[in-house]
């Protein structure tokens, strides 16, 4: 089965089957029937694609109700450290983070359900990240958490002097002071 559970309820790694031959490879990056059979019911309405260079850190972002989003994240080119923080107060993993490397070699994808803040750090010279969302982007409903929040203590495993972070992301509130989902 191409779906792997994580220690966080509903946060799932999808590892597609690659069909390789002398021409290259083929894989299904999404198949609604397979995802639903695995218990993932997300009606994706928007696809996004982002290009970044090494050391770019984007996040930690999320949207609040009624525009909360589930996401299916994959790396088309390069390698990233993908990080999520559980914001679901009723879950035992509330306030904890999970990280996984995603790249263009293994083609693993991360399904992030609603209720998580999401971010990633580019580990390769460049990276092209694509992700599906089950709700539309709404600037009025976006929020975030500081990537370097001491309470979360996320191990980005990267030289902090080499990080490239937007002013918007540097100005995000600390965990506990963020908007509720």
Which homologous superfamily does the CATH classification assign to the domain defined by 44-170?
Answer: Jelly Rolls (2.60.120.10)
Looking at 61, 107, 118, 178, which residue is catalytic? 61
Location of structure tokens 């990280």: 99
Q: Give Cα 163 to chain centroid, integer Å.
A: 18
Annotated catalytic residue 131? yes
Its sign, for the CA torsion 68, 27, 15, 101, is: negative
Which one, of 146, 158, 145, lies nearest residue 54 by Cα?
158
**How far, in whole angstroms, is CA 74 from its chain's centroid?**
8
User: Which tens digits make up the pLDDT trace of 16-32?
Assistant: 999 999 999 999 999 99
Which of the following is catalytic: 62, 98, 131, 178?
Answer: 131
- The 10s digit of each residue's pLDDT in 132-157 is 999 999 999 999 999 999 999 999 99
Q: Is the pLDDT of residue 179 over 80?
A: no
Q: Looking up tokens 């695995």, which residue turns up?
A: 38
Mean pLDDT for all residues in the chain: 96
Whether residue 181 is predicted with pLDDT greater than 80 in this model: the reply is no
Both structure tokens of 132: 């599906």
Distance between terminal CA atoms of the chain? 31
């Amino acid at each position: 089965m191409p779906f792997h559970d994580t220690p966080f309820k509903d946060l799932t790694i999808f590892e597609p089957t690659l069909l390789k031959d002398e021409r290259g490879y083929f894989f299904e990056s999404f198949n609604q029937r397979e995802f639903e059979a695995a218990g993932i019911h997300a009606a994706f309405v928007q696809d996004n694609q982002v290009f970044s260079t090494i050391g770019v850190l984007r996040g930690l972002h999320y949207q609040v109700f009624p525009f909360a989003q589930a996401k299916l994240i994959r790396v088309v080119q390069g390698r990233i450290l993908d990080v999520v923080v559980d914001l679901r107060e009723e879950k035992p993993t509330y306030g904890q983070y999970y990280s996984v490397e995603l790249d263009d070699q293994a083609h693993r994808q991360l399904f992030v359900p609603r209720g998580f803040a999401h971010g990633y750090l580019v580990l390769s010279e460049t990276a092209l990240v694509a992700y599906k969302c089950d709700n539309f982007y709404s600037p009025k409903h976006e929020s975030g958490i500081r990537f370097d929040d001491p309470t979360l203590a996320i191990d980005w495993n990267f030289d902090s002097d080499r990080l490239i972070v937007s002013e918007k992301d540097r100005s995000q509130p600390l965990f506990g002071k963020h908007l509720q989902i």
